[in-house]
Each structure stands twice: as C-alpha cells, then as structure tokens.
Amino acid sequence: MSASILTTREKAQHLSVSDWWSRNQRKVIPYIFLAPFLISFLVFTVYPAGAAFFLSFQRVRGFISPAEGGGVVLEYKGLDNYERLLTKDKRFRTAIINGAEFAIGTVLIQMPIALGMALLMNAPHIRFKVLARLAFFAPYITSAIVVGWIFTLIFQDRYGLLNAALSMFGIEGVGWLTNKAFVMPALIILGLWTWCGYNSLFFLAGLQNVPDDLKEAARIDGASTVRVFWHITIPFLRPVFVFVVITGLIGSFSLFSQPYLLFDSGAGPGDSGLFPVMYLFFMGFENFRMGYASAIGYLLTAIILLITGLQLLLFRLWRV
Amino acid sequence: MLLKTKRVNIIGPGRVNLMFMNSVVLVGVLLTAIPFIYMITASFRQQGELYSLPVTIMPREWHGHNYVKLFGDTNFVIWYGNTIFTAGLRTALGVYFAALAGAAFAKYEFRFKRFFFFLVLATLTLPFQVLLVPLFLMMRDFGWVDTYWAVIVPGIVVAFNIFLMRQYIESVPDELMDAARIDGASEFGIFHRIILPLVRPALGVVAILTFVNTWNDFLWPLIVLHDDTKYLLSIGIATMDGPYDVEIGAIMAASFLSTLPILIVFILMQRQIIAGLTQGAIRG
C-alpha cells in the first residue's frame, strides 16, 4: 500500500520536473551549451590571469621540498619587478627591440610581396593557381620545430643551401646564425617563407570579394588601372590589412619555437635572437623567477594591446 | 559574346606579360617548395653529406639508414602515438564544445548574451603567454604535470572556434528548428540532429585547424611534459639531437614523417580550409 503511494508521488514529482523542463528548456539550454566555455574560461583564463597579476608583484624566495608538500615561498616586492624590467633590464629591452624589428621587417617586406602575389593569383588566365594555393599554405601548417630544423640546415655557414645559392650569383655567404648582424635578416627570411604565402591567401580571398561590376563600371568611366586599384580594390581590402597586420605584429612579439630551435635552446649570439616570450620562458622556467616572468607577461600584454589599439585606430582613420 | 571579347581586351594582359606573371608565380611556388624538398632529400642522405661541398638539393646517393635509426634508436613511434591520441581527443571535445557555445550565441536569446560574447572576444585578444607561469603552477597543484590532462584540458575551448561556429550556425534556418520543436524534439536533440549535420563542413574545418594546432604546439607541452616517453612529436623532434645522438638526417626523417599526415589532409581539403580561415578576415 505505502509503496504504491510512494511511486505515485515519485511519478508526480517526476512529471512536474519534466513538465518544468519542457516549458523552460529553451531558457535554460543556452547556459548549458555555454557551460564548457564558461567553466574553462573561469578556471583556465580568469584565475591564472589573476594569479599572474598577483605573482607579478612577488619574488620567489625559496622552494618547499616535495616531501613537505612542495610549493614556492613568495615575498611581496611591490612594483620592483616592473621597475627593473622598464629601467634596468637590458635583456628585456633587447627582446622588445628584436620583436619590434621583426614586426617592422615582417610588415614592410612581407605585406607588399603577399599583396603582389595575391594580385597575380587573382589575375585572369594565370596558371598554377591551385598549385600556388597549396604551396603557399603548406609552410603555415608545418610545425615551427620542423621549420626550425630545416632552416638550421639552410642557414649553415659553409654548407648551407642559402649561401650556396648566393655564391652562384657571386655573392659571398655570411654566417646567418652566427653573425649578430645577420640573425635578424635570417629570422625575417624564415618568417617570409612561413607566413608570406599564407598572408597572400588572405589578400586573395579579399580580392575575390571585390565586386567585378564596380571595377568594370569605373573602367568604363575611364578610370585607369592604377586608379581602380587605389580607389576600389585597396579600400575593399581594408579588413584584410587590419587582420594581417595585427596578427603579424602579435606573432612577432610572441615568436618562440623557431628561434629557440635555431639557437639551440638559447637566444643567439649576443641575444640577437631573443624575443619577449622566450625571455619569459627563460626567466620563469629555467631561472624559476616566476614573479619576474609574470611581470614580463603583463608588460608584454600591455604592449600588444597598445599596438593593437593603435593599429585599429589608424585603420579607423583610414576610411576612403 | 561581344562583351566577352571586349572584356578580354580591356583586362587581359598581353602574352609576354602573362608569361612573366606566370613565371613569377612559379618562382614563388618553387621558393616555397625547396625547403620541403630539401627536408625530404636530406632524410635520405648518407651521414656527413650535408656537411660537405658542393651543396646539392638532391642526394648523391639515396640511403634509408636515417629511417632505420629513427625507428630503432628513438621513441619516435611512441611520440607519434601520443600526438595522435592527444590531438584527436582535444579536437573531438574542442569542436563539440565550440559548436555548443556557437549554437547558444547563434540561435538562442538569453540574459547576459552580449556580455558572454564579449568574454569570447576578450579571450581572443589576451595573449596566452601571460598565463604560462600560473597555469603551470596550477597543473602542478592538480598533479597534472607529465600527464595528457595538462595538454588537453586547459586549451580545450578555443574562442576563435566559437566565433567561427557561431557564424556558420547562424545560417541554419530557424523554421527547421521550430518544426522539430513542434514534433517534440528536445533542444539537445535539435543540436545533434539538425544543427550539427547541417554545419558538418564547418565542423570539418574547425576540427582540422584544431588538430593541426595541437599537432604543432610546442611551448606549452615543453613546459608540462618532461618524461621522454610522454613527449609529443614537436618536443621529441626538437630535443632529438640531445639524448639520442642522432644525426640531422634522422631529424629530417622525423620531420618529414610528422609533417606528412597534416599535408595530406590539407591537400584533400584545402579549398574548405582556406575558405573557412579567410572568411572571418574578409568580413572584418
């Protein structure tokens, strides 16, 4: 008797829950759909970002042995880490300057070539389009480590492919990875090989988005090819420029794997291949100065946000 | 017909011009291909040939001993398996979660929607490297160092993928979803039986991009994996010259074999991948 009452009650409860669910499903479900993102965002982004901020004002005083539970002993040092990085630390300055040089080299050299290649690939009656698309994307999806190893061979002094190719034109080879002055050009060449074709595919996609009838109309009105290019094509490519320039700049400051491999887990002759993220890695995971490394991380973020903001502002001003 | 001939006259370049343009494209392709070719040929060279003159792209003699050494003396096969496992799992879960979140943003109205979407965009601009130190400390506290949890879990939901999925899922017709609702389908049922099948090409693109990123990831695995048998391909290949005393030829062999599957998948699906990637950038 009592058992049957219980089951009816259970049934009623079950019914009301499923009833409520069927009525409110649509309101609740988006939060369930978003749950994995929100949880991972809180645990693996918000919390570490806060912890890094906290750490950046600390100094590691010592380590607790694993037998006693492990961990680090921290000491509050105020703005010491930041002050040191901004005023005293020459290596950090070198890393930032290298990042900037690579960024400028990348934008100034890569961008025009990538755009030129895209224009060629977009021209009518051009052959090898499929082949070119394939080839230009391949370096981008190749592991940076693999790229690094290939280029250690190519950049060799005596037996390197690049110097051998130069000597065919009567140019004497240089120590691409051993001569301080040629490290940056070598890295820019490597960057050119890796990202130029990739960027040209973005330009190509942008070019294919320019309405043909607009260009044709302008031509019928007597506009020259140069004018059509300048006043119709380029403005249509604005979002591509924004994307390519900003990702290029961010990538320049976060360069890690390729120089790390080229310089055998080091920073190259006289720190000529040292980049900000590499410096963060060396400080945090080789010297275990975790507070200092976190401060580097925050300064780097500030620099990247500043540059991105400036770029967006510049591009906003460029409205044709 | 008349219009067509006229058009060719206006924008069609002359023959000499066209030949020049074609050769420029071809030179670009060649310059891109040479390092790959060099990698492959280097892996078949005899010891020392890479450190002798004259420098050639093709080997003087083809040898297979680098491959013998790679499979015999190193943990290459283990690394390969580790990488397939972690990249596969991370891709499967990551794509599913990104599609869920994308569906929420594309197809539902709820409180704080704009705020949550702002969070997605915010994570896009925050450089991951800031989090390296505290994330590593966290992995240590979790006891996840030297486990694949550390590689798979922290980066599982990628903001960019949510962004892409949202764009694709927006194109799923609302009427179809409403019709299913009238037929009594649950929201999860709608997601699995209507949304996912309709955006399958997009899922493929997002999956490949996630897979490739995990396959090539280096900095984070380097920090959380220290045991040689746990290594992924990227760390294994990067450190191969140390403990194994192998020659550059064997490293080139490993590089070639680790790049091969990625290149094959890409060749098969290049049109979709490039379209998927570049779409966001054109729209701005």
**Helix B15-43 / helix A111-122 crossing angle, nearest 10 deg:** 120
Do B118 and B43 fall within a single domain? no
Contact B154, A44 (CB under 8 A): yes
DSSP bridge pairs for A268: none
Average pLDDT in the B192-213 region?
89
Residue in B closest to A163 by C-alpha: B55
Taking CB atoms and an 8 Å cutoff, what residues of chain A touch B280?
243
Phi/psi at A124 (nearest 5 deg)?
-70, 155
Based on the structure, what is the number of domains in chain B? 2
Residue range B109-124, pLDDT digits in tens: 988 899 999 888 888 7
Q: Given an 8 Å threshold on Cβ–Cβ distance, is B281 in contact with A144?
A: no
* Model pLDDT, residue A1: 44
Average pLDDT in the A97-117 region?
91
**Paired tokens of A243:** 């994307």
Do B133 and B205 fall within a single domain? yes
Percent of chain A with pLDDT over 90: 29
Do B115 and B58 fall within a single domain? no
Average pLDDT in the A231-238 region?
85
Contact A163, A174 (CB under 8 A): yes
Sequence ranges of the domains in chain A? 2-55, 80-317
Residue range B135-180, pLDDT digits in tens: 998 998 888 988 999 999 998 888 888 988 998 899 899 999 999 9
Contact A193, A117 (CB under 8 A): no
C-alpha span between B181 and A184 (Å, rounded): 60
Do B104 and B194 fall within a single domain? yes
| Residue B49, min C-alpha distance to chain A (Å) | 10
Taking CB atoms and an 8 Å cutoff, what residues of chain B touch A112?
none
B68 in a structural domain: no
* Model pLDDT, residue B253: 92
Residue range B22-66, pLDDT digits in tens: 888 899 999 999 999 999 998 888 777 777 777 777 777 788 888
Percent of chain B with pLDDT over 90: 35
Architecture field, domain A80-317: Orthogonal Bundle (1.10)
Average pLDDT in the A19-36 region?
84
Average pLDDT in the A219-229 region?
81
Q: Out of A45, A197, A257, name the one closest to residue B219 (CB).
A: A257
Measure CA A102 to chain center.
Answer: 13
Residue in A closest to B113 by C-alpha: A30
| Residue B60, min C-alpha distance to chain A (Å) | 15
* Model pLDDT, residue A70: 65
pLDDT surpasses 60 at A56: yes
Do B42 and B77 fall within a single domain? no
* Model pLDDT, residue B35: 93
Cβ atoms within 10 Å of A195's Cβ, excluding its own: 20
Taking CB atoms and an 8 Å cutoff, what residues of chain B touch A159?
50-53, 55
Taking CB atoms and an 8 Å cutoff, what residues of chain A touch B277?
201
Mutation site for A-interface testing, chosen from B60, B123, B124, B132 by largest number of A Cβ within 10 Å: B132
Please report the ipTM that was assigned to this predicted complex.
0.86
Q: Given an 8 Å threshold on Cβ–Cβ distance, is B28 in contact with A44?
A: no
Contact A180, A272 (CB under 8 A): yes
C-alpha span between B161 and A222 (Å, rounded): 45
Q: How confident is the model at residue B2 (pLDDT cuts 50, 70, 90)?
A: very low
Burial B198-234 (b: 16+ CB within 10 A, else e): bbeebbbbbbbbbbbbbbbbbbbbbbbbeeeebbbbb
SS3 B53: coil
Q: How confident is the model at residue A212 (pLDDT cuts 50, 70, 90)?
A: confident
Q: Given an 8 Å threshold on Cβ–Cβ distance, is A44 in contact with B155?
A: yes
C-alpha span between A279 and A286 (Å, rounded): 10
| Residue A148, min C-alpha distance to chain B (Å) | 9
Contact B195, B176 (CB under 8 A): no
Do B173 and B33 fall within a single domain? no
Residue range A250-273, pLDDT digits in tens: 888 889 999 999 998 888 888 889
Do B279 and B246 fall within a single domain? yes
Average pLDDT in the B271-284 region?
69
Q: Out of B133, B216, B281, name the one closest to residue A202 (CB).
A: B281
Domain that includes residue B42, residue range: 2-63
| Residue A125, min C-alpha distance to chain B (Å) | 8
Residue range A148-177, pLDDT digits in tens: 999 998 998 888 888 888 888 888 888 888
Do B232 and B102 fall within a single domain? yes
Listed ranges A63-72, A173-182, B270-279; the one with the highest mean pLDDT? A173-182
Do B52 and B176 fall within a single domain? no
Q: What value does the CA radius of gyration of chain B take, rounded to a whole number of Å?
A: 24
B270 in a structural domain: yes
* Model pLDDT, residue B3: 44
Residue B200's identity, in one-letter code, is R
Contact A112, A245 (CB under 8 A): no
Q: How confident is the model at residue B204 (pLDDT cuts 50, 70, 90)?
A: confident
DSSP code of residue A36: H
Taking CB atoms and an 8 Å cutoff, what residues of chain B touch A128?
22, 25-26, 29
DSSP bridge pairs for A63: A72
Q: Given an 8 Å threshold on Cβ–Cβ distance, is B282 in contact with A151?
A: no
Contact B208, B276 (CB under 8 A): no
Residue B15's identity, in one-letter code, is R
Do B78 and B26 fall within a single domain? no
Question: Which helix (DSSP H) or strand (DSSP E) does residue A272 occupy?
Answer: none
Mutation site for B-interface testing, chosen from A45, A163, A260 by largest number of B Cβ within 10 Å: A45
Taking CB atoms and an 8 Å cutoff, what residues of chain B touch A63?
none
Do B129 and B49 fall within a single domain? no
Q: Which residue has the higher pLDDT, A80 or B100?
A: B100
* Model pLDDT, residue A144: 93
Closest CA to B153 of B96, B91, B90: B90
Do B151 and B46 fall within a single domain? no
B198 in a structural domain: yes
Q: What value does the CA radius of gyration of chain A take, rounded to a whole number of Å?
A: 28
Q: Given an 8 Å threshold on Cβ–Cβ distance, is B18 in contact with A244?
A: no
* Model pLDDT, residue B121: 84
Average pLDDT in the B227-242 region?
88
Could you tell me which residues come within 8 angstroms of residue A164 by beta carbon, excluding any fewer than 6 positions away? Answer: A173, B54, B55
Maximum pairwise Cα distance, chain B: 76
